[in-house]
Homo-oligomer: A and B are copies of this chain.
């Protein structure tokens, strides 16, 4: 990984109270200031309702947590790609383990996102689904064994072969697709281990969101790379 090709950090806000409303914004400011200090790209992925205030008051990239596989029209209660675009979104998570999607919907949204210059980070649960997703050429595949999500046990330690296997399979299908490591990453050691196994960034959540001092936790996270 060259200097021009820094690992990235995506923070999935999920629906924690610690990452909702005013706290969604203050977390985004922590991400912005961690980026300013380290140069490591930091991306916020808040709930839909919290997106516009972050776009208004910070300059960090913002990803949706999910976009619904719909067209403009009668879809009460759904989240439309075009509305995210109209509000300046930069990308989206897709197929998170807490919002698994049908294969046909992943494909149509990755395609539509590309046409709209949105980045896509498609989550996977193992090597086999990572390979399947790679054929769709998203920006990122984030591999997260569901059994480790929220446990604090880093996949880089518990199941390193899932990361190396995913990197192998994904790059074999399309070397432009980047692999992120999710599930249990929260410290500088975890992130360093993930990068050494071939990951090009991390997708994380509660480890930062629930930290006493999220900004310090972010600085620690990227301190060893």
Give the B-binding residues of A (Cβ under 8 A). Answer: 12, 14-17, 20-22, 24, 47-53, 65-66, 70, 72-80, 82-84, 86-87, 93, 95-107, 111, 124-126, 128-129, 131-133, 135-136, 149-150, 173, 205-206
Contact = CB atoms under 8 A, between A and B. Distances in A.
B74 A66 contact: no
Contact of A79 (B49, B135, B150): B49
Given A15-B76, A22-B86, A103-B106, 20 more contacts: A12-B76, A15-B79, A47-B48, A47-B78, A47-B79, A49-B51, A52-B53, A65-B76, A74-B149, A74-B150, A77-B98, A100-B105, A102-B102, A103-B103, A103-B124, A103-B133, A107-B125, A107-B126, A132-B136, A135-B135
A100 B93 contact: no
Contacts of A77: 65-66, 93, 96, 98-99
A205 B72 CA distance: 13
Given A73-B16, A77-B93, A93-B77, A132 B107 contact: yes
Copies of the polypeptide in the assembly: 4
A50 B51 CA distance: 9
A17 B72 contact: yes
A16 to B, nearest CB: 6
Contact of A83 (B49, B76, B86): B49
Given A47-B48, A49-B87, A103 B129 contact: yes
B15 A72 contact: yes
Contact of A128 (B15, B135, B205): B135
B132 A20 contact: no
A211 to B, nearest CB: 16
Contacts of A72: 15-17, 20
Contacts of A49: 48-49, 51-52, 79, 83-84, 87
Given A49-B49, A49-B79, A128-B107, A206 B66 contact: no
